Amino acid sequence: MDLEKLKTFYVIAQTKSFTKAAEELNLTQPAVSSQISSLEGKYGIKLFERIGRKVYLTKAGEVLLPYAERIIALAEEAKLAITKVKDPTFGKLNFGASMISGIHIIPGILEEFKRKHPNIETHVHITYAYEILNMIEENKIDFGIVDERGTERTKMIFDIQPLVEDKLILAVHPTHKLAKKKRIKIRDLERENLILTEKRSSIRAFFELSLAKKGYILSPFMEFGNVEAVKKMVEKGLGVAVLSRLSIREEVKLGLLKDVGIEDIDTRRFVLLIKRKEKEFFPATKLFIDYLQKKCKKIEP
């Protein structure tokens, strides 16, 4: 159905005049008559009847009018919606964040961004890094902010950009004997109660990959489903834990934990911005990513 013909039909119904409709639509009168003839030909029935100098809707025209009004209104709504999508101050963010970034990086940045751009709708999925990667691959989210697992680059469909430098460290209670050291070796952990996050976590995956590269194997004394639980166990003096430095900054500042470096495996990693290589972002998403990158540059490793 031709939207322009419906608009012409609607204006004639309102003005009851082909001439006035032509003036309002900035068309010639023959053009208006041609559009109505075409519409009547499509339906096989007259839509207007002339009485004197005025035109009136036929029964068929009266039936069509409310549908024409709705179609025209929906077309205007669609136009407005597309205009908003093109406007970076409107739109929707749909992205994922893994546990460390989702708890320790994103909230503050997102809170500031939302204050500046309150009309941007936001959907954030907080889950494990590998699940975020799957969601990006399946195009369920536009991008992900994930803690490096060490295996991301095996998927050639991804475009990967480092956002924040992070490091795996040993978290210990301040009174623990290892708290006096600046760095430890893996063999120092062999007699310790080692507490780890579960195997699905990016911290565990990166740590075990780093161990394997050097030929080490360590079995945990305990393992927990999230970082916060692991930190609490260490605070209670129940063991030591390999964690992300970003995840324990507050506890270290408060004197609840002490961070100790690990020197004989690869501990340097990054929080990553990941998207599909061919993915194109709407203006609102580009605006947030630019803001995110600027803010992340100011985060000290």
Do the strands 54-57 and 183-184 form a parallel or antiparallel pair, or are they unpaired? unpaired
pLDDT for position 195: 95
pLDDT for position 280: 82
Buried b or exposed e, range 29-63, using 16+ CB within 10 angstroms: eeebbebbeebbeeeeeebbeeeeeebebeeebee
pLDDT for position 152: 66
Q: What percent of the chain has pLDDT over 90?
A: 66
Handedness of CA 199, 202, 206, 207 (dihedral sign): negative
What are the extents of the domains in the chain? Answer: 3-86, 92-164+269-296, 167-268
Same fold, 92-164+269-296 and 167-268: yes
Residue bearing the bigger pLDDT, 248 or 90 = 248
- Between the alpha carbon of residue 228 and those of residues 117, 184, 207, 241, the distances in Å are 31, 23, 18, 11
- pTM here? 0.71
| pLDDT exceeds cutoff 60 at 1 | no
pLDDT for position 204: 92
| pLDDT exceeds cutoff 60 at 179 | yes
Mean pLDDT of the chain: 90
pLDDT for position 186: 94
Q: Are 179 and 258 in contact (CB under 8 A)?
A: yes
| pLDDT exceeds cutoff 90 at 200 | no
> Which of 98-102, 153-157, 241-245, 253-257 is predicted least confidently?
153-157
Do the strands 48-51 and 54-57 form a parallel or antiparallel pair, or are they unpaired? antiparallel
Q: What is the CATH number of domain 167-268?
A: 3.40.190.10
Question: Quick one: average pLDDT of 257-273?
Answer: 94
pLDDT for position 48: 92
Question: Quick one: average pLDDT of 203-215?
Answer: 92
Span 122-166, pLDDT tens digits: 999 999 888 999 999 888 899 999 998 877 665 678 899 999 999
**If pLDDT is split at 50, 70 and 90, which confidence band does 196 have?**
very high
Residue bearing the bigger pLDDT, 213 or 89 = 213
pLDDT for position 155: 67
Span 281-299, pLDDT tens digits: 888 899 999 999 999 998 8
Handedness of CA 98, 101, 103, 106 (dihedral sign): negative
pLDDT for position 153: 60
pLDDT for position 208: 92
**If pLDDT is split at 50, 70 and 90, which confidence band does 251 have?**
very high
d(CA 61, CA 47): 4
Span 63-119, pLDDT tens digits: 999 999 999 888 887 876 777 777 777 788 999 999 889 999 999 999 999 999 998
pLDDT for position 301: 67
Q: Tell me: domain 3-86, CATH 3.90.1820.10, correct?
A: no
Q: What percent of the chain has pLDDT over 70?
A: 97
Q: Which residues contact 99 (CB under 8 A, 6 or more apart)?
A: 126, 127, 128, 129, 147, 201, 202, 226, 227
pLDDT for position 300: 78
Q: Which CATH number applies to 92-164+269-296: 3.40.50.2300, 3.40.190.10, 2.70.98.10, 2.115.10.20?
A: 3.40.190.10
